[in-house]
């Protein structure tokens, strides 16, 4: 066994390249039940983050387990992707199109959120080429956004830290989001939305409308406190994109699949995009899975005479039979289990529970079962890290953010468990800020 900051680890740990540096909270998890995770020492944790917005139905969802197991037993863990597909993939694509806003008619299955964003970039550019506007190649996205960890998605991510990986993909332009304008200039949400939309229009005009392919935005941003943007901003952006022939892309990797209390964040803000990237909870965490949802306007140029669409991104495991089985079971469970009203009731309970627990020491932005807890940090102590650590010590998993912490409880969380989560968060904030 090797010791890492006081933690005993197996010797083979040195062969494992971790996603983040090892800390005392880096854990070897052994198994899960409901919304609880258990480590190799048998200690249990309430997962108030759904892993990372993924495990919507907890860690032992029998319908999804059964579907993936059945697919394995059929002897079709994979099929030649250059020669065909499988029933699970076909049915999942249809089920997702049924869940999506009106106008979404086609679905490209992928493996990760970053891949979905990359596919949206490619499809936007090739769409303009196919419709006689090959110069429309530039992509606009917001500063203070996060869109993934691959080369193209990192370029869209509006954070200076991504430059550590070298020069970004060319052809990407950033504009300020409404939330940063509101904060900097002390604007109302409506004023900030108007200015942010005006800047997008000015940017399209400045870059040249014949040069801009797409605008990529988040309906709620985890980096921007999950604050609700004025809905008129999205309507204004939709109108601007239509006027200049720019495709509107929603990054719904985090906000899709019920997380905001509606099927997708697009439903929550009341605007239908041309392309929508979904991931995270789409399979309930039981297989790597994401999807690019495509408006018929964009799909039409790629349909053959029989009405079938083809668009090669291309990924070996896209539409994998096992991943698609898990995804189809998750979508079916979501719909047939009537989870939207459950999420909405839990959201109201979470909102009130946090208000009671935090009092005047912090505020919470809540959208469905997605929550940002904002805590003042005048001394720059990194209160988010400290609060996350305190919650961990009390057996609750949350995520540290520059403004505080994030919560995203699973859809199967009980009100009793929510009460415990809120109590722990309140106690952790008390410990850190006094």
**Residue 100 CA neighbour count, 13 Å, CB half:** 28
Rounded mean pLDDT, 315-335: 97
Which residue from 291, 300, 296, 234 is spatially nearest to 268, judged by alpha carbons?
234
Edge-to-edge, what's the strand order for the sheet holding 399-401?
363-367, 370-374, 404-407, 399-401
Q: What is the pTM of this model?
A: 0.96
pLDDT of residue 22: 86
Which residue from 151, 299, 120 is spatially nearest to 217, judged by alpha carbons?
120
Cβ neighbors of 308 (< 8 A, separation 6 or more) are: none
Query: Residue 310 burial (CB < 10 Å; 0-12/13-18/19+)?
Result: exposed
As a whole-number percent, the residues of the chain with pLDDT over 70 amount to 98
pLDDT of 136 higher than 60: yes
Q: What does the mean pLDDT of the chain come to? A: 95
Cβ neighbors of 317 (< 8 A, separation 6 or more) are: 78, 81, 111, 288, 323
- 24 three-class SS: coil
Gap between the Cα atoms of 14 and 420, Å rounded: 36
243-271 b/e (C-beta count within 10 Å ≥ 16 → b):
ebebbbbbbbbbbbbbbbbbbbbbbbbeb
Cβ neighbors of 83 (< 8 A, separation 6 or more) are: none
pLDDT of 148 higher than 60: yes
pLDDT of 2 higher than 70: no
Rounded mean pLDDT, 35-58: 97
CA dihedral 217, 220, 223, 225 (to 10 degrees): 150
pLDDT of 189 higher than 50: yes
- Range in 53-57, 157-161, 202-206 with the lowest mean pLDDT: 157-161
**pLDDT tens by residue, 322-331:** 999 999 999 9
pLDDT of residue 75: 97
Contact yes or no for 384/405 (Cβ under 8 A): yes
pLDDT of 63 higher than 60: yes
pLDDT of 262 higher than 70: yes
Rounded mean pLDDT, 256-285: 97
pLDDT of residue 243: 98
Rounded mean pLDDT, 322-349: 98
* Cα-to-chain-centroid distance, residue 263: 13
pLDDT of residue 7: 65
CA dihedral 173, 161, 222, 207 (to 10 degrees): 0
pLDDT of 1 higher than 70: no
Domains annotated for the chain, with CATH where assigned, are 2-61+338-433 (3.90.1150.10), 66-336 (3.40.640.10)
Gap between the Cα atoms of 156 and 168, Å rounded: 9
Rounded mean pLDDT, 305-309: 96
Q: How confident is the model at residue 6 (pLDDT cuts 50, 70, 90)?
A: low
Enumerate the β-bridge partners of residue 28.
none
Gap between the Cα atoms of 9 and 359, Å rounded: 40
Rounded mean pLDDT, 52-65: 98
pLDDT of residue 5: 56
**pLDDT tens by residue, 368-412:** 999 999 999 988 899 999 999 999 999 999 999 999 999 999 999
- Range in 60-64, 227-231, 425-429 with the lowest mean pLDDT: 227-231
Contact yes or no for 374/411 (Cβ under 8 A): no
Gap between the Cα atoms of 114 and 327, Å rounded: 18
Determine the straight-line distance between the first and last CA of the chain, rounded to whole angstroms: 38
């Amino acid at each position: 066994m090797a010791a890492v900051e006081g933690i005993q680890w197996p010797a083979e740990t040195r062969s494992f390249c971790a996603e983040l540096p090892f800390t005392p909270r880096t854990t070897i998890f052994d198994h899960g039940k409901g919304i609880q995770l258990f480590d190799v020492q048998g200690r249990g944790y309430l997962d108030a983050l759904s892993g990372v917005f993924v495990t919507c139905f907890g860690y032992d969802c029998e319908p999804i387990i059964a579907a993936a197991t059945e697919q394995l037993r059929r002897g079709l863990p994979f099929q030649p992707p250059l020669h065909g597909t499988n029933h699970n993939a076909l049915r999942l694509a249809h089920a997702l199109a049924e869940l999506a806003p009106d106008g979404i008619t086609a679905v490209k299955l992928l493996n990760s959120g970053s891949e979905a964003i990359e596919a949206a970039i490619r499809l936007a550019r090739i769409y303009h080429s196919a419709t006689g506007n090959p110069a429309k190649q530039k992509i606009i996205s917001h500063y203070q956004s996060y869109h993934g960890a691959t080369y193209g998605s990192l370029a869209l991510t509006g954070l200076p830290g991504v430059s550590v990986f070298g020069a970004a993909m060319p052809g990407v332009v950033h504009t300020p989001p409404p939330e940063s304008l509101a904060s900097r200039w002390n604007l109302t949400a409506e004023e900030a939305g108007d200015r942010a939309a005006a800047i997008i229009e000015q940017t399209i005009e400045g870059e040249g409308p014949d040069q801009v392919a797409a605008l990529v935005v988040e309906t709620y941003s985890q980096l921007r406190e999950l604050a609700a943007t004025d809905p008129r901003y999205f309507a204004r952006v939709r109108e601007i994109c239509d006027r200049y022939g720019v495709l509107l892309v929603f990054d719904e990797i985090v906000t899709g699949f019920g997380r905001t209390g509606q099927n997708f964040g697009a439903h929550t803000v009341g605007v239908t995009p041309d392309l929508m990237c979904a991931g995270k909870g789409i399979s309930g965490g039981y297989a790597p899975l994401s999807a690019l949802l495509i408006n018929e306007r964009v799909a039409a140029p790629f349909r053959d005479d029989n009405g079938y669409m083809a668009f090669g991104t291309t990924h070996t495991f896209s539409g994998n039979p096992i991943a698609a089985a898990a995804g189809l079971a998750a979508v079916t469970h979501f719909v047939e289990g009537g989870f939207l009203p459950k999420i909405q009731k839990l959201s109201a309970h979470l909102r009130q529970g946090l208000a009671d627990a935090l009092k005047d020491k912090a505020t919470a932005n809540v959208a469905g079962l997605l929550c940002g807890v904002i805590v003042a940090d005048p001394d720059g102590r990194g209160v988010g890290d400290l609060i996350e650590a305190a919650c961990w010590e009390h057996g609750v998993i949350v995520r540290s953010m520059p403004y505080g912490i994030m919560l995203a409880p699973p859809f199967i969380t009980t009100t009793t468990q929510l009460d415990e989560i809120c109590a722990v968060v309140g106690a952790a904030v008390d410990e850190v800020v006094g």
